[in-house]
């Protein structure tokens, strides 16, 4: 039973962190926003990324230097200057190595909160097990009347669970930035503490 309590506490932590996405259904600002430029994904992008070091030492990741960094407890979000592209890294200690069934249960609870909080038409579109400890979930939502899109990858390293999420406020921005997101994903280096 203690393991179940610990997993539920982990879910609560991750669910709280997802609240960052609640801004997805907020009305647009009164100030006109210029259209963002797609960020090309290439080796040159990796060379221009700044490395973020988690204060607790649990991971490092590359991000564009011009992006806003918003730190929270066991999470950090990176937001491009126009607010249309987002990167979110979350982590928590599950207290045990989870099997795929346990991970899928946690993922169900993680995303159920989005639906309950009224993120417009939040829909899980596809789920893929990338390996025995990594599951990727693709989803869509509405920002007002504009469809958004995202992907979250849940990966376990030891007893730690890491969630790396990318989302765009306008779905049509995804294809232009998918290679960039893949480049950033390759820079994530989880560093869970040794047992």
Answer for the pair 162, 148: CB distance below 8 angstroms, yes or no. Answer: no
Res 136 pLDDT > 80: yes
User: What confidence tens digit (pLDDT) does each residue in 83-131 have?
Assistant: 999 999 999 998 899 988 888 888 888 888 655 555 667 888 999 999 8
Q: Which residue has the higher pLDDT, 47 or 156?
A: 156
The pTM for the full model equals: 0.77
State both tokens at 131.
Answer: 């390996």
Residue ranges of domains in the chain: 2-23+42-190
pLDDT confidence of 142, banded at 50, 70, 90?
confident
DSSP H stretches of helix in 34-138: 43-48, 100-116
* Torsion sign, CA atoms 90, 175, 32, 115: negative
Q: Just give the CATH number of 2-23+42-190.
A: 3.40.1000.10
DSSP β-bridge partners for residue 93 = 160
């Amino acid at each position: 039973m203690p393991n179940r309590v610990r997993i539920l506490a982990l879910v609560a932590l991750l669910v709280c962190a997802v609240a960052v996405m609640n801004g997805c259904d907020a009305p647009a600002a009164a100030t006109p926003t210029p259209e963002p430029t797609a960020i090309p994904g290439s080796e040159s992008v990796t060379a221009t990324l700044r490395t973020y070091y988690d204060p607790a030492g649990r991971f490092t990741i590359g991000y564009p230097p011009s992006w806003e960094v918003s730190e929270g407890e066991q999470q950090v979000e990176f937001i491009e200057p126009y607010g249309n592209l987002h990167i979110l890294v979350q982590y928590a200690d599950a207290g045990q190595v989870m099997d795929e069934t346990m991970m899928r249960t946690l993922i169900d609870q993680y995303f159920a909160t989005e639906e309950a909080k009224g993120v417009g038409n939040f829909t899980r579109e596809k789920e893929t097990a990338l390996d025995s400890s990594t599951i990727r979930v693709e989803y869509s939502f509405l920002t007002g009347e504009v469809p958004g899109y995202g992907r979250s990858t849940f990966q376990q390293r030891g007893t730690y669970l890491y969630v790396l999420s990318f989302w765009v406020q306008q779905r049509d921005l995804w294809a232009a930035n998918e290679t960039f997101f893949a480049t950033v994903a390759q820079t994530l280096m989880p560093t869970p503490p040794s047992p």
